[in-house]
Amino acid sequence: MTAIARASNIRFPHRHLLGIEGLSPDEITLLLDLSESYIEYHRQADKKRAVLRGRTLINLFFETSTRTRTSFELAGKRLGGSVINMSVATSAIKKGETLIDTAMTLNAMHPDVLVVRHPDSGAVKLLSEKVNCALINAGDGSHEHPTQALLDALTIRRRKGRLNGLVVAICGDILHSRVARSNIHLLTTMGTRVRVVAPPTLLPAEIERLGVEVFNDMRRGLEDCDIVMMLRLQSERMHGTFVPSTREYFHFFGLDYEKLSAAKPDAMIMHPGPMNRGVEIDSEVADDIGRSAITEQVEIGVAVRMACLDMLTRTLPLSAAELA
């Protein structure tokens, strides 16, 4: 019996996946273990399964995305579901009423899963209160991006064999990053030591209350760490000037071999993408196949999304199409 089949009677005790905050270590491990079995699965030539047969997944993106949207689309199709992509230009949206109207319209079409990305923190939770289907947060403002944190954790666990006791340095624009927030919640829940490394202007007030150590200097922050996770400068979320210039930012906070030499010799480099080469990361470091896990993160992302779609639809009632 395959691991996926063995796990098929296990249920996830939440209707939606809105964030990592509040998930228990067991719930996180459950999602990581199921994702692990989907990695082997989606490396096979025949990738089709019937787990989502008769199910409809709508990707509703109010913000641009390349890898996350494609990843959910592939995951849904590989599990045999029908996938519809809806991109809504941010400029056309009047917040509040329009969002609720959109939710009600989509709800009336009876999807089984809505995957939503929105520029406003909290918008996805608001939507979840209005729909009957399962909802997955694909990134809301600078709040959470749970599937990114799950794929990052699985990438780390596969390379390093564990999460507990490792030292992870998350570097760059912590202030605006939903990836940082979801990773901090997940890693601290799983017993990983988390450091955040950034200029003071790019750190949220009282970030240490999330259980992280704070550094304003790359060499000190990277000292003897196991994982270096770089973040993009989220200029689309910046109102005002947060760094003097991208050139100066790279000089002090961009990852190059010189700064990386402070980390453990086998430290792994990660980046959620899209990368700004020469701004937060040097091209050579990003493409270093011995150290960088950046393309592996993308591959693992599809498996994680398959696992989340599988898990969340297990408790949904079957639609008329499925019962026919």
State yes or no: cis peptide before 244, omega within 30 of 0.
Answer: no
Site for ligand ASP in 155-184 (CB under 6 A): 178-179
Pick the closer one to ligand ASP by CB: 55 or 232.
Answer: 232
If one asks whether residue 286 binds ligand ASP (CB under 6 A), the answer comes out as: no
If one asks whether residue 145 binds ligand ASP (CB under 6 A), the answer comes out as: yes
Total of chain residues touching ligand ASP, rule CB under 6 A: 8
If one asks whether residue 305 binds ligand ASP (CB under 6 A), the answer comes out as: no
If one asks whether residue 272 binds ligand ASP (CB under 6 A), the answer comes out as: yes
Pick the closer one to ligand ASP by CB: 63 or 112.
Answer: 63
CB 66 within 8 A of CB 275: no
Phi, psi torsion values for 299, nearest 5 degrees: -60, -45
Among the listed residues 157, 181, 232, 291, the single contact to ligand ASP using CB under 6 A: 232
Q: In whole angstroms, what separates CA 18 from the centre of its chain?
A: 11
CB 50 within 8 A of CB 76: no
From residue 234 to residue 263, what is the string marking binding to ligand ASP with x (rule CB under 6 A)? Answer: x-----------------------------
Provide the minimum distance between the beta carbon of 307 and ligand ASP in the complex, in angstroms, as a whole number.
19
Strand partners, 86: 60
| Residue 91 CB contacts under 8 Å (≥ 6 apart), including other chains | none
Residue nearest to ligand ASP (CB): 232
Among the listed residues 111, 139, 199, 301, the single contact to ligand ASP using CB under 6 A: 139
**Cα angle at 129 between 128 and 133, to 5 degrees?**
50
Integer CA distances (angstroms), 120 to 45, 65, 115, 201, in order = 39, 15, 15, 21
Binding site for ligand ASP (CB under 6 A): 139, 145, 178-179, 232, 234, 272-273
